[in-house]
A and B are shown apart, each in its own frame.
Chain A
Amino acid sequence: MSDKNDNKENNINIKPKERETAGEKQPITTALTTDPARLAAMKAAKKRFHRRRRLKDWGMFTGYLTPSLVGVMIFFFLPLLMILKQSFQKSSNNPQFVGLQHYEKVLSNDAFIQAAKNTLTFSGIAVPLAVILALLLAILLNSGIPAQSVFRSILLNPMMVPVASVVLIWQVFFSYNGVANGWGFNHLFEPDKIDWLKSDYAQIVILVLFLWKNLGYNMVLFLAALNNIDAEILESAMMDGAGALKRFFSIKMYFLSPTIFFVAIMSLINSFKIFREVYLLTGDHPYPTLYMLQHFMNNAFKNLEYNKLSAGAIIMCVVMIAIVGILFFAEMKFDADVEG
């Protein structure tokens, strides 16, 4: 009798079931008990379980991350730390701490300011252009043009051309006696012949180079993303009477936005890589409109001014963190909506 009474009192009806899942004992507790002690015990068990699980998760996933982490630590983080340390030292042979002296010198260096301005301007123009033009091209190719794959292959070609050929051809086109002047492109801007790479239009030339190289890849990414949009949604929108433009902006853009951010970051990366071509075209000290941050750093490197280099590198790092941070957070916001 007392047992029954006990049971009734505690109101335990169901024993916690145990199930084997992924080799693990996972008690499934249903909230059919109200005894506070029991509840507390179950909660504690749950917490323990979750903690163990969290630890196990952490261990396992960190295990997956380890090879990459080790390598990145050695080859990327450690150098950055070294550079950070170096930028606060008096000079390469004098480890005396001088605070922000080098940063002041670098930030007030006219050449650095010029370089920063150029780099930001170039990236600021090139990246949006790359994204928008690629998007347009993707839409163009997607709208029923025949031999789409052929066009795609052709447009991806520029990525594969080695730098040397590119430089050569660009020289042929855009030097003072080059083909561009020969065919009269200069008349769009000025009556005389223009020395493109040494004039204020130099950035346009480099922009063309950048776009030529990167449009193909961006376009392919957009094509892939466009193809991934469910055709049904588009059809239903069409039936609801949405015009082409409205269809585009409301639906396609919505689904494309993660890709857009992705392409933007890729283009940003590539806009820094254009330095190699610029360097091969114009050398150490180009015309000021082409003078980029990497020129500044490269020359500091060659002149053994290592502290200037470190300070400049850290500044560049900070700015990039800011820019990418903005993009990143914006993307995270959009991403949450779109991800299915």
Chain B
Amino acid sequence: MKKVQRFIAAGLAVAMMMPVFTSCRRRGGGAKIESNDPWYNVSSVIVGDEIDSTKFEYASLIYAGLYEDKYVFRLTGQNTLPSGFDYSNDDISPYTVNEVRIYDESGECTQTIDVQAAMSPLTRDGGSCYVRDVIINDDNSYVEVQFTDYENNINQRYRAVLDLSEGTMGPLTEYIQTEDYATRLTASGGSDEGEITFGGYRIRKFWFGGKDTASYVLEVIDPQEMVTEFDLRSLFPQASITDISHIIDIGNNRGVICASCYDGYQFFIIDFTTMTIEQDMGDMTWLSGSASMFAKVQGLGTIVRSNDGLYSVNYENRSLDPLFIYANANVNIFEISRLTPMTVTPDKAVFSGSVYNPMPSADAVTVNTVIYTFTRAESNPNVGKTIISVASVEDYSYALCSAICEFNESSSDYFAELSQKYIAPPADYSDDGDGSQDSTATADSQAADLGNQLAIDIMSGTGPDIIINGSQFGMLNDDDYLMDLSEFVSQTCGADAYFTNVFESSKDEEQLFHVPVSFHVRGIITDSMYVDDGQVGFTYDQYADFVSGPCNGNNPINQGRMYFFINSLNCMPDLIYDGNHVTFDSEAFRSLAEFTEANINEVLTVDDGEMPYSDEQPVASVVDIENIASYFNMVKFGSKVFLGIPTYDARGPILIGSDSVAISAQTRCLDACKDFVSILLGDSIQRLYGLQSGVPVNRAAFGSCGSDYISYQNESRDRILAMGYFSESDLMNMFGINPEPMDPSVISDFETFIGGLDGWYYNDGAVNSIIREELPAYFEGQKTLDQVIPILEARVQTLLNERG
């Protein structure tokens, strides 16, 4: 609460100090693209498609390094084993694949080095070996292989030099680790934590455990093989270091050690010339926020891989300098941010990684790796375009980024940019040293803070133009802050092309601020034999009978009384609220309360994660249907029916919003924003939403991703059955897949089903907390319902009055 106050005050401070300006600041809406803003042209190649993946049982193509202008990858995998293969006796090594593949810039595989061939002789007499690492340097590239024979107690490392220009590999020679000091340390209880290379130096890390006695020892080996040992515990007793991940080069033969400790990140400066380490006691918040995003890039050392681009660490200025910002190219930011940077120069940046496929392919094995090459354009083709900032709360999706790309390609006057301001950094798990739950709590509070920051920015006029997934901020549902899009939606989204019932249900007193982009459906799945024909939902009596009867007392909604109560209440807001007036003294509320008190049991608190597990399929369960596949698998399976969760008047399943889009009332680019919303509601982007986050509101997209799901499901089904171990009945039990092949009629079936829904799940946090305070008295039997209801009504009515 108090943090909220701080943020509020901070935002309002800005508001009051800036009397007239509204949204023209930094890259917010209204600013234009300057001619000196960089722009990159992007091209992509796929590597690895020359590999026949059907031969493999599993395979992966991993980037190893850059050699001159060639890309070096390593391929690890296993060919499909012949039937009848005996795991205990037969040698598996002929089927193992280990290769080093060299590709040129166009994606052609120029050379292949078969490593497995050199490894096979090692295992002739037993034991196993695997490729430990492939190190690519300009002058010294090698493969490291580890051989282990447990029976004879042999543990040996081998190395082979790679000649990448020739495409050959030298013989595997034993690599003797002559550092007996290392063995001394491991012998005395330390664990070898690996090695970091820094220029010509190798820094080996050892950790001696214990919380208050944790000791991290570094051994620095200089190019002359001189060893210097640093016991960090004795040097810096206050910092209990648990891991050292990176050492950042700051010039003058010095580096910054980034150490994660029990209470956060600490930074130490190591000077290799004088061989000293000292702690940097200054304010390192500029760096510690990015500490979980460090990455090592060949030729650049350690850089920061943030959500929006690559940054280099400028230690003197204590800042991060941008190296490459994803928004400067027309590429899907979601996809790019998940790729590994290979090389970055001012004119060129190359990334590689697995191809992102929104729909997982039924093909089990794919080694496709995409390489994106960004070359700097001479001039920015978007000069003069007005920038629209798009903000997503907490996270952004592939679909959103695709929408941004599509908008930028199609719009001649506007350029959409994804604002990173309200996206939480990746969760930092470094400070839950005592195993407490703090990491999720801090993540939650971080998310809450960011959300509040968004609300404040919107209210003070410095916020983004478009807000994605902002429906949780009820306070923003006002003409002052957001545009009422009900007219826009009714004009552009007809009933034949969209599920207009979804739009209608989500309206708040005829105003539509957050347009639903995707949604889920929540209800109870059970078998039709347990319910009556034509039954759409449950009244409380029916539900009581249902639980005691077919369910044998196992309530599908089993998370406690409060959970049940609030869920059911949220499904029938119209029975409780009437404009600004609340009535709890109604049949609906009373019957819900009485039913909950009588029939729902408190959830058993389990101590150590050992939930009582039963092998049988439950008779009924509460589900959120997110796509047509789950609809088919759960609702269309056998004789299942999909009913609403219990409400007073037996309502059907209820719609829950998933993604939404809103336009700020302060925007100066209203038409462009509306175009963006149209793109979000357009066929292509809606299909992406449908594949990932919920049911799309666009009927055409609904149909197309329905087809995608159908083919995916059928392929999976066929593949599983083809394995030979599973029968059709196993499909449901083990994989949750409907044994029936899916056909296109399911699409129209699901469509009709959705068209018939009209309830919207209404969740009001403040009212819920009042209910949570008052009702338990009734549930525990301390008070009667007649005593509780007036109190509830009075308090909630005050709340509603206050809102005005």
Please give the residue numbers on chain A whose beta carbons come within 8 Å of chain B beta carbons, in ascending order. 82, 86, 90-95, 105, 109-112, 114, 176-177, 195, 198-199, 283-288, 291, 296, 299-306, 308
CA distance A216 to B798 in the complex (A): 35
CA distance A199 to B19 in the complex (A): 46
A-B contact pairs, 8 of them (CB 8 A): A92-B15, A94-B461, A195-B783, A285-B796, A287-B791, A301-B5, A304-B455, A305-B475
CA distance A296 to B20 in the complex (A): 29
Nearest Cβ distance between residue A105 and chain B, in whole angstroms? 6
B12-67, CB < 8 A from A: 12, 15-16, 19-20, 22
4 additional A-B residue pairs with CB within 8 Å, beyond A198-B791, A302-B1: A114-B798, A288-B795, A304-B475, A308-B804
Q: Describe A's contact surface by its main secondary structure.
A: mixed
Closest to B23 in A: A93
B362 part of interface (Cβ distance < 8 Å): no
Closest to B787 in A: A195
Residues of chain B lying within 8 A (CB to CB) of residue A92: 12, 15-16, 459-460
| Cross-chain contact B801 with A110 (CB below 8 angstroms) | yes
CA distance A156 to B339 in the complex (A): 69
Contact of B15 among A93, A110, A301 (CB under 8 A): A93
| Cβ contacts B444-486/A at 8 Å (1 or 0 each) | 0000000000011001110000000000000100001000000
CA distance A306 to B456 in the complex (A): 11
| Cross-chain contact B801 with A285 (CB below 8 angstroms) | no
Residues of chain A lying within 8 A (CB to CB) of residue B225: none
The 3 closest A-B pairs by CB, nearest first: A93-B461, A111-B801, A111-B802
Nearest Cβ distance between residue A192 and chain B, in whole angstroms? 8
Closest to B782 in A: A176
Residues of chain A lying within 8 A (CB to CB) of residue B804: 105, 109, 111, 308
| Cross-chain contact A287 with B460 (CB below 8 angstroms) | no
Nearest Cβ distance between residue A203 and chain B, in whole angstroms? 14
| Cross-chain contact B8 with A287 (CB below 8 angstroms) | no
CA distance A291 to B461 in the complex (A): 32
Residues of chain B lying within 8 A (CB to CB) of residue A284: 766
Nearest Cβ distance between residue B519 and chain A, in whole angstroms? 27
B497 part of interface (Cβ distance < 8 Å): no
Residues of chain B lying within 8 A (CB to CB) of residue A306: 8, 12
Residues of chain A lying within 8 A (CB to CB) of residue B5: 301-302
Residues of chain A lying within 8 A (CB to CB) of residue B22: 93
Nearest Cβ distance between residue B17 and chain A, in whole angstroms? 10
B666 part of interface (Cβ distance < 8 Å): yes
B117 part of interface (Cβ distance < 8 Å): no
| Cross-chain contact B794 with A287 (CB below 8 angstroms) | yes
CA distance A283 to B1 in the complex (A): 12
CA distance A234 to B461 in the complex (A): 70
CA distance A296 to B803 in the complex (A): 10
**From A92, A93, A308, residue with most partner B Cβ within 10 Å:** A93
Residues of chain B lying within 8 A (CB to CB) of residue A296: 802
| Cβ contacts B563-601/A at 8 Å (1 or 0 each) | 000000000000000000000000000000000000000
Closest to A307 in B: B480
**From B8, B12, B799, B802, residue with most partner A Cβ within 10 Å:** B802
| Cross-chain contact B801 with A109 (CB below 8 angstroms) | yes
B746-804, CB < 8 A from A: 766, 770, 773-774, 777, 782-783, 787, 791, 794-799, 801-804
CA distance A110 to B804 in the complex (A): 8
| Cross-chain contact A287 with B666 (CB below 8 angstroms) | no
Nearest Cβ distance between residue B793 and chain A, in whole angstroms? 10
| A/B pair count, beta carbons within 8 Å | 83
Residues of chain A lying within 8 A (CB to CB) of residue B475: 303-305
Residues of chain A lying within 8 A (CB to CB) of residue B666: 93
B4 part of interface (Cβ distance < 8 Å): yes
Nearest Cβ distance between residue A340 and chain B, in whole angstroms? 49
CA distance A12 to B550 in the complex (A): 126
Residues of chain A lying within 8 A (CB to CB) of residue B801: 109-111, 114
Residues of chain B lying within 8 A (CB to CB) of residue A86: 16
A288 in contact with B794 given A92-B459, A92-B460, A301-B8 (CB within 8 Å):
yes
Residues of chain A lying within 8 A (CB to CB) of residue B459: 91-93, 304
| Cross-chain contact B782 with A285 (CB below 8 angstroms) | no
Closest to A90 in B: B480
CA distance A296 to B455 in the complex (A): 20
Closest to B784 in A: A192
Residues of chain B lying within 8 A (CB to CB) of residue A109: 801-802, 804
| Cross-chain contact B460 with A302 (CB below 8 angstroms) | no
Residues of chain B lying within 8 A (CB to CB) of residue A111: 798, 801-802, 804
Contact of B799 among A105, A199, A285, A308 (CB under 8 A): A285
Residues of chain A lying within 8 A (CB to CB) of residue B16: 82, 86, 92
CA distance A175 to B460 in the complex (A): 42
| Cross-chain contact B777 with A285 (CB below 8 angstroms) | no
Residues of chain B lying within 8 A (CB to CB) of residue A300: 802
| Cross-chain contact B4 with A302 (CB below 8 angstroms) | yes
Nearest Cβ distance between residue A97 and chain B, in whole angstroms? 12
Nearest Cβ distance between residue B650 and chain A, in whole angstroms? 32
| Cross-chain contact B773 with A283 (CB below 8 angstroms) | yes
| Cross-chain contact A95 with B19 (CB below 8 angstroms) | yes
| Cross-chain contact A177 with B8 (CB below 8 angstroms) | no
| Cross-chain contact B782 with A287 (CB below 8 angstroms) | no
| Cross-chain contact A304 with B782 (CB below 8 angstroms) | no
**From A177, A199, A302, residue with most partner B Cβ within 10 Å:** A302
Residues of chain B lying within 8 A (CB to CB) of residue A199: 791
| Cross-chain contact A285 with B766 (CB below 8 angstroms) | yes
CA distance A302 to B12 in the complex (A): 12
Closest to B478 in A: A91
Closest to A303 in B: B475
Closest to A198 in B: B791
**From A90, A92, A195, residue with most partner B Cβ within 10 Å:** A92
CA distance A9 to B20 in the complex (A): 77
A285 in contact with B15 given A109-B801, A109-B804 (CB within 8 Å):
no
| Cross-chain contact B8 with A176 (CB below 8 angstroms) | no
Residues of chain B lying within 8 A (CB to CB) of residue A82: 16
| Cross-chain contact B777 with A95 (CB below 8 angstroms) | no
A91 in contact with B480 given A285-B766, A302-B1 (CB within 8 Å):
yes
CA distance A94 to B480 in the complex (A): 9
| Cross-chain contact A285 with B461 (CB below 8 angstroms) | no
CA distance A64 to B666 in the complex (A): 49
| Cross-chain contact A93 with B460 (CB below 8 angstroms) | yes
Nearest Cβ distance between residue A181 and chain B, in whole angstroms? 11
| Cβ contacts B1-12/A at 8 Å (1 or 0 each) | 100110010001
| Cross-chain contact B777 with A176 (CB below 8 angstroms) | yes
| Cross-chain contact B12 with A285 (CB below 8 angstroms) | no
| Cross-chain contact B20 with A95 (CB below 8 angstroms) | yes
CA distance A303 to B4 in the complex (A): 9
CA distance A199 to B794 in the complex (A): 10
Nearest Cβ distance between residue B311 and chain A, in whole angstroms? 32
Residues of chain B lying within 8 A (CB to CB) of residue A303: 475, 803
Residues of chain B lying within 8 A (CB to CB) of residue A91: 459, 480
CA distance A299 to B8 in the complex (A): 13
CA distance A95 to B666 in the complex (A): 13
Residues of chain A lying within 8 A (CB to CB) of residue B798: 111, 114, 285-286, 288, 291
CA distance A10 to B796 in the complex (A): 91
Closest to A109 in B: B804
CA distance A303 to B764 in the complex (A): 14
A304 in contact with B8 given A93-B460, A95-B20, A285-B798 (CB within 8 Å):
yes
CA distance A302 to B765 in the complex (A): 14
**From A109, A199, A284, residue with most partner B Cβ within 10 Å:** A284
CA distance A36 to B231 in the complex (A): 102
CA distance A109 to B580 in the complex (A): 12
| Cross-chain contact B770 with A285 (CB below 8 angstroms) | yes
| Cross-chain contact B456 with A304 (CB below 8 angstroms) | yes
| Cross-chain contact B795 with A287 (CB below 8 angstroms) | yes
Residues of chain B lying within 8 A (CB to CB) of residue A301: 5, 8
| Cross-chain contact B802 with A299 (CB below 8 angstroms) | yes
CA distance A198 to B475 in the complex (A): 27
Nearest Cβ distance between residue A300 and chain B, in whole angstroms? 8
CA distance A300 to B8 in the complex (A): 11
**From B20, B770, B796, B803, residue with most partner A Cβ within 10 Å:** B803
